[in-house]
């Protein structure tokens, strides 16, 4: 799975504009505890992992802080998908080093996907960090901190075949108290030629379904009204009960979570076109509280390029899945990931991608030009031979077309009424609420007395841009 960020509040953004370097949590009173500061980059799996890390640190006597200068421990949770992400992380580490020069006792650590590949550079060559911890080694953080405090470097980048952190209750960082993420599986068995995830996060393993349902139930009881089930490829979720031998697939898990409460909305990300089944689609259609939105990355609209990408489907297969979605869930919105300028891509093949955007009628897309990543199959076997200026021009054409398609998609919603979950104040005015409809579209509307985040309202749409729907409450 290439880098994607399905919970961006703005639509049709290139990855260079995506939500990066997010700092979480609310400040806690001065209680004598040591403080940790954490920044996260990349996909929502990383943001979810940061909540697991925060929980582990809290159990070890740490408390969060937004103030970098107050931190006893500074962590950066990294993404290795694109070169720019790595450049950003290095820049931030140099800034953290300045803090460390003022307070030498401050510990600095790198977490996540960059840990294995760049550990030597961070620890020995650039000497920017005290600790490097891979995605499957977060339980080891307390011991690694002791190692650092004793004057050594803390390193654990071991990839596990079993770790799912199923028993850890994540600390909900930067939470609006309405929406939350639940990680249902880790790793990826797909070997897309452009992607580093199988090498940085390991093989697929699924959490037991009962721990997932329990987490969703706990969130609902605490006032949350929407959960997003996360995995590199959620459709391949499969958990076997060791006691009964019963196997639970993703469609069954989806229904189990939906049945926690009809007022709990359920989303999921990300789906792989080769794995999303009619059973999943019928489950979505059957339950009103399973959102009618699917993020279905195409990456390219051309079959030859898809084969080079090792996506294991061709153009017709993908189109068949899109037809099935619209047939079974007519009001479903579909979004996508698109890569411009993959190895040897021709102008004609680029046109196939453009035609796919229009044909599939994506509500939005995450769009980027190809960036070769060391260690991937593409880096070893394919030549990155499309000039950067051509990649950028093709990306601009993709972005321009997607904006047009998104605008038409949203214009078609004018006059319709949607059930919207209030998430909080809009960015532009505290006199307006924002929230999303089932199709994952952001809706902005004037406030009404007595309403609060977590409430559902019916909103009639009166105008739209390519990114946002605007309307007013018609009943409550």
- Residue 43's domain is classified under what CATH number? 3.40.50.2300
0.75 surpassed by pTM:
yes
Does a structural domain hold residue 166? no
- Provide, rounded to the nearest whole percent, the portion of the chain with pLDDT above 90: 72
pLDDT band at 18 (very low <50, low <70, confident <90, very high): very low
**310 and 189 housed in the same domain:** yes
The residues that bridge with 227 in the sheet, in sequence order, are: 180, 266
Does a structural domain hold residue 11? no
Polymer length in residues for the chain: 476
What domain count does the chain have?
A: 3
Provide the domain limits for residue 144. 25-156
**296 and 187 housed in the same domain:** yes
Q: Is the pLDDT of residue 236 over 50?
A: yes
Q: Which of 140, 47, 77, 152 is nearest to 107 (CA)?
A: 152
**364 and 446 housed in the same domain:** no
pLDDT band at 125 (very low <50, low <70, confident <90, very high): low
**212 and 339 housed in the same domain:** yes
**399 and 423 housed in the same domain:** no
**125 and 253 housed in the same domain:** no
**263 and 234 housed in the same domain:** yes
**195 and 103 housed in the same domain:** no
Mean pLDDT of the region 166-188: 89
Tens of pLDDT, residue by residue over 371-393, are: 998 889 999 999 999 999 999 99
Does a structural domain hold residue 434? yes
Q: Which of 403, 318, 416 is nearest to 363 (CA)?
A: 403
| Range with lowest mean pLDDT among 6-15, 43-52, 301-310 | 6-15
Taking the CA atoms of residue 114, residue 116, residue 118 and residue 121 in that order, the dihedral angle to the nearest 10 degrees is 140
**400 and 434 housed in the same domain:** no
- Interacting residues of 252 by C-beta distance below 8 A, sequence separation 6+: 209
**319 and 425 housed in the same domain:** no
**421 and 404 housed in the same domain:** no
CB 347: neighbour CB atoms within 10 A? 8
- Interacting residues of 154 by C-beta distance below 8 A, sequence separation 6+: 109, 130, 131, 132, 133, 143, 144, 145, 147, 148
Please report the sign of the dihedral spanned by the C-alpha atoms of residue 341, residue 343, residue 346, residue 348: negative
**397 and 428 housed in the same domain:** no
Does a structural domain hold residue 455? yes
Does a structural domain hold residue 123? yes
């Amino acid at each position: 799975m290439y880098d994607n960020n399905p919970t961006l509040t703005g639509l049709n953004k290139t990855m260079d504009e995506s939500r990066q370097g997010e700092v979480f949590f609310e400040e806690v009173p001065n209680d004598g505890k040591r403080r940790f500061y954490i920044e996260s980059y990349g996909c929502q799996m990383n943001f979810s992992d940061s909540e697991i890390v925060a929980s582990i640190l809290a159990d070890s006597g740490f408390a969060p802080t937004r103030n970098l200068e107050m931190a006893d421990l500074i962590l950066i949770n990294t993404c290795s998908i694109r070169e720019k992400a790595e450049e950003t992380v290095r820049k931030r580490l140099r800034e953290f080093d300045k803090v460390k020069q003022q307070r030498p006792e401050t510990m600095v650590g790198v977490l996540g996907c960059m840990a294995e590949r760049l550990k030597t550079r961070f620890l020995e060559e650039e000497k920017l960090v005290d600790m490097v911890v891979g995605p499957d080694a977060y339980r080891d953080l307390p011991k690694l901190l002791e190692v650092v405090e004793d004057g050594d470097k803390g390193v654990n980048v071991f990839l596990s075949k079993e770790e799912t952190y199923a028993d850890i209750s994540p600390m909900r960082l930067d939470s609006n108290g309405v929406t939350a993420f639940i990680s249902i599986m880790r790793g990826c068995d797909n070997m897309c030629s452009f992607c580093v995830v199988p090498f940085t996060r390991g093989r697929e393993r699924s959490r037991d379904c009962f721990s997932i349902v329990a987490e969703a139930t706990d969130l609902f009881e605490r006032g949350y009204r929407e959960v997003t089930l996360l995995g590199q490829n959620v459709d391949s979720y499969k958990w076997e009960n060791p006691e009964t031998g019963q196997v639970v697939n993703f469609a069954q898990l989806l229904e189990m979570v939906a049945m926690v409460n009809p007022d709990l909305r359920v989303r999921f990300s990300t789906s792989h076109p080769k794995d999303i089944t009619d059973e999943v689609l019928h489950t979505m259609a059957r339950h009103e509280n399973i959102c009618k939105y699917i993020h279905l990355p195409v990456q390219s609209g051309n079959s030859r390029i898809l084969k080079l990408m090792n996506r294991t489907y061709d153009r017709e297969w993908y189109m068949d899945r899109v037809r099935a979605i619209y047939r079974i869930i007519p009001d479903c919105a579909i979004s996508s990931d698109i890569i411009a300028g993959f190895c040897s891509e021709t102008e004609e093949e680029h046109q196939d991608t453009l035609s796919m955007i229009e044909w599939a009628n994506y509500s939005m897309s995450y769009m980027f030009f190809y960036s070769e990543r060391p260690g991937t199959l593409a880096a070893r076997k394919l030549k990155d031979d499309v000039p950067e200026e051509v990649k950028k021009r093709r990306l601009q054409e993709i972005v321009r077309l997607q904006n047009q398609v998104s605008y038409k998609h949203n214009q078609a919603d004018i006059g319709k009424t949607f059930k919207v979950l209030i998430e909080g104040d809009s960015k532009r005015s505290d006199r307006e609420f924002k929230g999303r409809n089932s199709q994952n579209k952001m809706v902005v509307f004037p406030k009404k007395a007595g309403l609060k985040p977590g409430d559902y309202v019916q909103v009639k749409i009166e105008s739209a841009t390519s990114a946002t729907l605007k309307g007013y409450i018609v009943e409550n």
